[in-house]
Structure 1
């Protein structure tokens, strides 16, 4: 039973619904201050995951190649295109636009939380770990952060935030179901490098959410797909 996956998706759904409903009722100072805290939390989680790195050259190579692939296929632009297609019908259904009219600012914040909710190292590792061991503690811990993050960002972005629970659930349940096939083919070193790669992306996500630097984090996601094969090859043929 994917308890952690379900709770994590529900946390985004409920957080986004509550935040969008309250909107301006939440004081502006809270809406401005808490994203900085969320960004710091994401960076702290990222640093903690990076510390588990086993093979630095493999992780760095995967990150560079993955980012290049993401840029070439314009992954972030694809997410932005999907967000724009979803935003208008959601606004019509709920008769709410949110508080951000600037398209660039809207997309920067939206893509940041999409990656944080759907593709963070914590979420991916947590789903794989739950699928293999039944331990859902990682995803439940992530759910607390996701709930409050969704609520605060929904006050600015509107009801579109709660729709992120759909791709999030699909991605995490897919990982949960495939865990029995994936993890037996991995080694502790490969998992450590995968976790560290996710940590680097979470660190960049924290900078983006905090408004410090708008890293193209969606374009970095292919690194998560190739980091374990590169780690395996590096450990067996180079190191």
Structure 2
């Protein structure tokens, strides 16, 4: 049982509930500053992750091929449709539901802490990294849900599938996720997080969702790493 991931999910749900309670008490001016603060912090997280790159050329190819693939299948449209169905079933009227869900998932699940924590739990039964991540995600979800609303809470669904899946299949993934590959994967994720930060700050609107296949393309270059 992925106990660390379950605790992580509970932390995000609790943080989201607190954020939703605070949302109605925050003035538009403070709401805007919180939004900008999240955007700036997201840029910092993205830069830290991107600097872990092992091979810059392969990172560029991963991003380009990932973007082409995502655009070709219009991944953003499909994910938006899924999120909108969920929103309809919940009876939510939030205009930022889908954006909140995807933004939260990217921030919570793209990074070395997610992969290493899930592997540690699955192989050695050590929950330390995921418990640390749970604390960080819990506080982050407060700010995110106060900005985006209910969608942030439901980012726990893809988190359970992705993070919990790595934990349950840790034995098979141990040889796949080498330190070099994890760094390269984190760097590609960092580029996506940087793009997300630009979106949050409304500097430039980038279809980050359509670039998500880049995280899969990285594995194709594993022999070259």
Q: Which residue of 2 aligns with 1:38?
A: 38
Q: Residue 53 of structure 1 contacts residue 192 of structure 1 at CA under 8 Å; is this kept in 2?
A: yes
Matches within 5 A, 1:158-177: 158-177=149-168
Greater helix content: 1
Q: Which residue of 1 aligns with 2:82?
A: 82
Q: Residue 50 of structure 1 contacts residue 197 of structure 1 at CA under 8 Å; is this kept in 2?
A: yes
Deviation at 1:209, TM superposition (A): 2.5
Which of 215, 218, 222 in structure 2 is aligned with 1:227?
218
Which of 190, 193, 199 in structure 2 is aligned with 1:202?
193
Deviation at 1:136, TM superposition (A): 4.4
Comparing 80-89 with 22-31, which one deviates more in the overlay? 22-31
Deviation at 1:125, TM superposition (A): 4.8
Q: Residue 131 of structure 1 contacts residue 180 of structure 1 at CA under 8 Å; is this kept in 2?
A: yes
Comparing 106-115 with 39-48, which one deviates more in the overlay? 106-115
Q: Which residue of 2 aligns with 1:61?
A: 61
Q: Residue 12 of structure 2 contacts residue 156 of structure 2 at CA under 8 Å; is this kept in 1?
A: yes
Give the 3 Å change call, closer, same or farther, for CA 128–7 of structure 1 in structure 2.
Answer: same
Q: Residue 90 of structure 1 contacts residue 159 of structure 1 at CA under 8 Å; is this kept in 2?
A: no
In the alignment, the residues of structure 2 paired with residue 70 and residue 178 of structure 1 have an alpha-carbon distance, to the nearest angstrom, of 26
Q: Residue 98 of structure 2 contacts residue 151 of structure 2 at CA under 8 Å; is this kept in 1?
A: no
In the alignment, the residues of structure 1 paired with residue 36 and residue 119 of structure 2 have an alpha-carbon distance, to the nearest angstrom, of 29
Comparing 29-38 with 173-182, which one deviates more in the overlay? 29-38
- State the secondary structure of the residue aligned to 1:53: coil
- State the secondary structure of the residue aligned to 2:122: helix
Q: Which residue of 2 aligns with 1:15?
A: 15
Q: TM-score, normalised by structure 2?
A: 0.83
Q: Residue 12 of structure 1 contacts residue 150 of structure 1 at CA under 8 Å; is this kept in 2?
A: yes
Give the 3 Å change call, closer, same or farther, for CA 74–136 of structure 1 in structure 2.
Answer: farther
Q: Residue 15 of structure 2 contacts residue 140 of structure 2 at CA under 8 Å; is this kept in 1?
A: yes
Q: Residue 38 of structure 2 contacts residue 143 of structure 2 at CA under 8 Å; is this kept in 1?
A: no
RMSD: 2.7
In the alignment, the residues of structure 1 paired with residue 145 and residue 87 of structure 2 have an alpha-carbon distance, to the nearest angstrom, of 12
Unaligned runs of 5+ in 1: none
Q: Residue 101 of structure 2 contacts residue 154 of structure 2 at CA under 8 Å; is this kept in 1?
A: no
In the alignment, the residues of structure 2 paired with residue 159 and residue 79 of structure 1 have an alpha-carbon distance, to the nearest angstrom, of 17
Comparing 37-46 with 118-127, which one deviates more in the overlay? 118-127
Q: Which residue of 1 aligns with 2:72?
A: 72
In the alignment, the residues of structure 2 paired with residue 212 and residue 135 of structure 1 have an alpha-carbon distance, to the nearest angstrom, of 41
In the alignment, is residue 190 of structure 1 matched against residue 186 of structure 2?
Answer: no
